Structure 1
Amino acid sequence: MGAPLRKLSGDPECKNGTCPTLWGTDNGKDFVVQGYVITDPQRLAQLDLPEGETAVVVPAAVLEEYFSARR
């Protein structure tokens, strides 16, 4: 099991605690993004994802919160 993740920011509109979130890893160089899985075949085709990768949609507010805090 890997090192624990640190919650860096989350969706401010979240009411249940399981919303899109940006997590930091122990090395400080990588991020884990929790979001809504893209299932639309047209969008997935545009991304041309390789085996083992997926894509998620994250509200802009999650990233804005993180980058605002870093200033």
Structure 2
Amino acid sequence: MALHKLGQDPDSPEGKSPTVYFDDVTGNYILQGWRVLDPARLAHMDVPEHETVIEFPRRMMQFFPEVNGGGGTHA
């Protein structure tokens, strides 16, 4: 498996998060973001035990190839 870092949040104070990765084996994106822990927000979702919820800023959409003209492949 090879993960390719597509981009990090340009507004991150430490430059560590959030981050968009592309897995070239599965063809899926892996997102690193802020954990959603607010019970009121989580109450509106049906999250299975084996999944988690992260918050991901809109400004990070630029790193998805489908949005930036990359044709759906990793950069």
Q: TM-score, normalised by structure 2?
A: 0.77
Structure 2: distance between partners of 1:23 and 1:15: 19
- What SS is found at the alignment partner of 1:70? coil
Q: Do the aligned residues in 1 keep the contact of 2:20 with 2:63 (CA within 8 Å)?
A: no
Amino acid at match of 1:32: I
**1:9-20 equivalences in 2 (<5 Å):** 9-20=7-18
User: RMSD of aligned C-alpha atoms?
Assistant: 1.7
Identity of aligned residues (%): 32
The DSSP-based 3-state class of the residue aligned with 1:42 is helix
Deviation at 1:27, TM superposition (A): 2.1
> Which structure ranks higher in relative contact order (CA pairs < 8 Å, sequence separation ≥ 6)?
1
For the Cα contact (< 8 Å) 2:9–2:15, is it kept in 1?
A: no
Aligned residues, how many?
A: 69
- In structure 1, list runs of 5 or more residues that go unmatched: none
- Normalising by structure 1, we get a TM-score of 0.81
CA distance in 2, matches of 1:44, 1:25: 27
Query: Which segments of structure 1 move beyond 4 Å, counting only runs of 4 or more?
Result: none
